[in-house]
Amino acid sequence: MIDVAGLYVSPGFVDLHVHVFYGDNASYSDGALSVIPDSHTFRSGVTTVVDAGTAGSKNFEIFKKRIIDRSKTRVLSFVNIVGAGMGGSVEQNQNDMDPNILIALAKTRVDGGG
């Protein structure tokens, strides 16, 4: 038995708003403004993070293969309505906003796309 009086005991906390699609770009999507999930989670008791739409339909598969599938931290994700994902002015590009593409992506993922 361990005396945990005065401490919080949890099977793991969930961080509901993160940006973890990190890479070489100077933005959030595949960029330097996102963080590496495993570098910022377990030491704080976080076992699951929810990416707040950093990737869009055009780069979600890269995000999944490079970050989600390789992280020890459980990574859940919203997908940005903008195909290119987060990245400053591109987020206002209405020509890159297509809900039907997001629906197709979601169906692919649910129907066995991984």
Q: What digits encode the pLDDT tens for the residues 18-42?
A: 999 998 887 888 888 899 999 999 9
Across 78-102, average pLDDT: 87
- Which residue type does 112 have? G
Structure confidence at residue 111 (pLDDT): 60
How much is the pLDDT for 93? 80
Beta-ladder partners of 23: none
Mean pLDDT of 77-92: 86
For the entire predicted model, the pTM comes to: 0.84
As a whole number, the mean pLDDT across the chain is 90
pLDDT classification of 47: cutoffs 50, 70, 90: very high
Q: What is the pLDDT of residue 112?
A: 55
CA distance 45 to 10: 8
Find how far residue 87's CA is from the centre of its chain: 14
Instruction: Look at residue 74 in the predicted model and tell me its pLDDT.
Output: 97
Q: Which residue carries 């005991």 as its tokens? A: 9
Q: Report pLDDT for 114.
A: 55
Q: What Rg, from alpha-carbon coordinates, does the chain have?
A: 16
Average pLDDT over every residue of 6-14: 91
Tell me the domains of the chain and their CATH numbers. 13-110 (3.20.20.140)
